[in-house]
Structure 1
Amino acid sequence: MHQPVVLITGASRGIGAATALLAGARGYAVCVNYVNNKAAADAVVDAIIIGGGKAIAVAADVAVESDVISLFETVDAKLGPLTALVNNAGILEKQMQLAQMDVARLQRIFTTNIIGSFICAREAVKRMSTNSGGSGGAIVNVSSVAARIGGAGEYVDYAASKGAIDTMTIGLAKEVIDQGIRVNAVRPGVIYTDIHASGGEAGRVVKDSIPMRRGGRADEVAQAILWLLSDQASYSTGTFIDVAGGR
């Protein structure tokens, strides 16, 4: 029995890093993908290895097709057959209303958040599909509760990109289930991570809008992701777990 291998995009910080650490502790060989912050990615890898696990860090921008292809080929060569993908890499930009958004911003958001996830899913399916000699596997897409509530006045573009991920999750799940691949998603709410610094709100947690009256932790999202990847979720595909404190 081969050690299960998981590739987690955007895994140097936040939800991705928490998922990588938990996956390493659960026995996965982990590829920690990052774009720029090599030191942070290496720290995640070191923590997994110190805990007795196996991990590598690989730089790749999911918005660049050649980077993604190289990323997957590195996993093939260094970790072995891929069994799981977590499409976690995503960006948001400064809060503003749609009327102020320029095309360059929209292209950045949609290219990373949508096209990046599509390309990564494509490469994962090619490897895991029983139609092409793979042994099946699981994909978990990291969406957002914003896909349901719209991100008005802040990030309608980000919310829309996650809406696309929700639709892709449903469609791809139906497309590949007979190839031994399950596809699911988690929808985090407001989580204590670095991503909101990108939107100008480093301390963002809007407690008044959250029934549970607190923000979530990255490890709480990671637990849901690992469950969906696991055999415990063997009858779940095309489904969503909201980790959003009741929003």
Structure 2
Amino acid sequence: MERWLNRVAVVTGASSGIGAAVVKYLANNGMVTVGLARRKERVEGLRDEVKDEAKARIHAIKCDVTNETEVIAVFKEIESNYGPIAVLVNNAGVVRFSDMVKEGNSQDLRDVLDTNVYGIVWSTREAFRSMKANGGDGHVFVMNSLAGHMVPIIPNFSLNMYPASKHAVTALTEIYRQEFFNNKTKVKITSLSPGAVVTELAGAAATVTPDAAVLTPENIADALIYCLQTPPNVQIHELTIRPVGERF
């Protein structure tokens, strides 16, 4: 992690679950870490869960990643207050469990696409602008899912737009790889695709399959740190992380 010491990392959806774990891991490993979330106070509370010398490296900003104007302003604030962005972790995500064919569910459908797809697009565009202007290196992570490579079948249960949004993330990962190269930078892109993870996001699904093998948010944060430590010439484009015993 030496090349990342005291550089700036931004984590979206940082108030709980994987995002909160990633914030703590990055701060403990020497990065100035800015957590973006609607619940800013929960990010600030993460300072109580890291090493003493890492507490001052955690910063929190309220941000709704579905709001393009807000994202642009927040990233400029980060650059102004903390410096150029070196690492972006696109973690913000939502899932809705109503059937897509159900009437009156328009907002649920929009929420998933606005957060899981456009939230990545707005944040990555702003982070890349900073990376390109400041040395042309950096690392962008997108939090994907096994559902971005298949559509899990859960009897009598719908994952709604979630698999479609994550398949979009799989395509975005390759587009970003091409665009980062075409822009003559050495910015890396990594898609992390976990199986079932114990988070607030997965709460409803977990009640349907209570005996399922699961991962913890710390498992995913640990994998992210592994990818971040690879040499400058090594890019882990896609990392699939499954719990032992997962059935689908």
TM-score interval for Structure 1 and Structure 2 normalised by the shorter chain: 0.7 to 0.9
3-state DSSP class of the match of 1:98?
coil
In structure 1, what is the equivalent of residue 138 of structure 2?
137
Q: What's the offset of the Cα at 1:97?
A: 2.8
Amino acid at match of 1:174: Q
Q: What's the offset of the Cα at 1:203?
A: 4.3
Q: What's the offset of the Cα at 1:4?
A: 1.7
1:32 and 1:58 in contact (8 A); partners too: yes
1:114 aligns with one of 87, 92, 117 = 117
Q: 1:23 to 1:83 in 2, by over 3 A?
A: same
Amino acid at match of 1:10: G
Q: What's the offset of the Cα at 1:205?
A: 5.0
Q: TM-score, normalised by structure 1?
A: 0.87
Q: Kindly report which structure 2 residues correspond to 1:166-245, keeping only aligned pairs within 5 A, or say none.
A: 166-177=170-181, 178-197=184-203, 200-201=204-205, 203=207, 207=211, 214-232=213-231, 234-237=233-236, 239-245=237-243
Amino acid at match of 1:219: E
Sequence identity percentage: 23
Q: Kindly report which structure 2 residues correspond to 1:148-167, keeping only aligned pairs within 5 A, or say none.
A: 148-152=149-153, 153-167=157-171
Q: 1: CA distance between counterparts of 2:219 and 2:231? A: 17
Q: TM-score, normalised by structure 2?
A: 0.86
1:150 and 1:156 in contact (8 A); partners too: no
In structure 2, what is the equivalent of residue 71 of structure 1?
74
Q: 1:168 to 1:189 in 2, by over 3 A?
A: same
The answer to whether structure 1 residue 42 and structure 2 residue 39 are counterparts is no
Runs of 4+ in 1 over 6 A off after TM superposition: none
Q: 1:70 to 1:46 in 2, by over 3 A?
A: farther
Alpha-carbon displacement from aligned partner over 1:105-136 (angstroms, at most 9, x marks no partner): 2111101110110010100111101xx34341
Q: What's the offset of the Cα at 1:103?
A: 2.4
Amino acid at match of 1:26: N
3-state DSSP class of the match of 1:83?
strand
Q: What's the offset of the Cα at 1:44?
A: 1.3
Alpha-carbon displacement from aligned partner over 1:61-84 (angstroms, at most 9, x marks no partner): 000011111221221122211100
Amino acid at match of 1:161: S
Count of equivalent residues: 235
User: CA RMSD for the aligned pairs?
Assistant: 2.2
1:32 and 1:45 in contact (8 A); partners too: no
Q: 2: CA distance between counterparts of 1:226 and 1:164? A: 24
1:48 and 1:55 in contact (8 A); partners too: no
Q: What's the offset of the Cα at 1:49?
A: 6.6
In structure 2, what is the equivalent of residue 211 of structure 1?
none
Q: 2: CA distance between counterparts of 1:25 and 1:203? A: 33
Amino acid at match of 2:229: S
In structure 1, what is the equivalent of residue 147 of structure 2?
146
2:27 and 2:50 in contact (8 A); partners too: yes
* Structure 2 segments unaligned to the other structure (5+ residues): none
Q: What's the offset of the Cα at 1:139?
A: 0.2
